[in-house]
Chains A and B, each alone.
Chain A
Amino acid sequence: MVQTVLGQRNDKPGDPGYEESLARFEARIARGDKVEPGDWMPDAYRQQLIRLIHVHANSEICGALPEGTWICHAPSLKRKMALVAKVQDEVGHGQLLYRAAETLGKSREEMIDELISGKAKYSNVFHYPAESWADVCVIAWLIDAAAIVNQKMMAEGSYGPYARALKRICYEEAFHLTHGYDMCISMATGTKLQRDMLQNAINRWWEPIMMFHGPSDKESKHTEQLMKWRIKLKTNDQQRQEFLQKYLPKLFNLGLTVPAEWNLKLDPQTKEWTYAEPDWEKFIGVVRGGGPVSAQRLETRRLSHEQGRWIREALTAAARGQRAPMPAA
């Protein structure tokens, strides 16, 4: 395994040879070459990727929490098995992503600890509760759809290990999206009670969904640099627009609506949707841990980490040929 030699990387502006290395690096990116772990890269590229992949991994882990809650209440065995499989996939994706971030020099342990302590962020949408089964349907369809728009783009990005992990993730997410749509079709074509449940869930979730791709391009401070280095290939607003163009017609087709205050209108000239700008200050407050169930999410994650400690200790002891300690009663 190629390891980055620690010590002087000369990867910050002002370091000896930085400008020449940067020019070679940017020429490589412009050619469409992928960057691999042992390569020289600007420290800012490394730090931005660690930040993005860490948040992405945390979001997969926290995304399993609202859905996991509903496993015991799934309406049929088929839905229950699909939900169990989806939750397992999300946790697997978290692990793939922690490994991708580790190749940049931050340990998995550090990332897991920073999530539990509340230092690291995760997606805004998982700071909200799943109040009914219809919420599970909306998460599986529309939030996974929004995530796929983002992940398909990131899978074409310049960092090899992240792109490779995302290709596998996108393949697995295709089942989540299809199953989510299938569940929403069942609810939308069901009884009036089911249709109302689904519409109410959409009403509750529309604001977090509109915020999902992150602050508007007018406010997003990193976008230009991220796009130049092909960490991101589309701006937040472009991703939001792509999501709306593909999924709003499907949503309307099911007889569903979006709350009127969003003022969604299709511009006949540009074929683009215009909408009321989300409250980005509110978004920042939510991702910093001020959402309706932020504290509960971290508490569940912390408890789950603690409850798994005995098996981690047992595995470590067994590998050393020692007797595995049993959990305290």
Chain B
Amino acid sequence: MTDTQWPIFEVFHQQTRGEPHVHVGSVHAVDAETALLMAKEQFARRQACVNIWVVAADDITATPYEDADIFEHGTDKSYREAFGYQTTKRAKAVGDTEEI
């Protein structure tokens, strides 16, 4: 008899206010409310926690790993990074000796 194979809910917990919610695992539960109960027992039993989210796993849309190349940078993108600029040297040259 099938009575333990409930839907899967992914669990996200927040350790302290101000921190992001982090994915910590998943639980089986009949509905979201029960999933919160299960998640509290499973993931907030030991470590600090102030808030939990549960999301039905079926409701998550994700990129496939085999398409990970969509995240690769085709060209030099250093112009969008702080390290892409020699500005400290240039600022000194114009008389700015403070940290930029």
Contacts and interface: CB of A to CB of B under 8 A. Distances in A.
A172 interface: yes
Interface residues of B, number: 27
For the complex, would chain A's binding face be called helix, strand, loop or mixed by DSSP majority?
A: helix
Interface string B51-78: 0000001101010111000000000000
A313 B3 contact: yes
B2 to A, nearest CB: 6
B4 A312 contact: yes
Interface in A1-59: 1-2, 36, 38-40
A38 B66 CA distance: 8
A99 interface: yes
Contacts of B48: none
Contacts of B66: 38-40
B5 A108 contact: yes
A282 B64 CA distance: 47
Interface stretch (A73-81, A118-126, A148-156, A314-322): A314-322
A248 B2 CA distance: 47
Contact of B5 (A89, A107, A164, A319): A107
Interface of B: 2-6, 8, 10, 24-28, 30-31, 34, 41-42, 45-47, 57-58, 60, 62, 64-66
Interface of A: 1-2, 36, 38-40, 88-89, 92, 95-96, 99, 102, 107-109, 112, 164-165, 168, 171-172, 309, 312-313, 315-316, 318-319
Sorted from nearest, which 7 A-B pairs have the closest CB atoms?
A319-B30, A1-B57, A109-B5, A319-B31, A312-B3, A315-B30, A109-B4
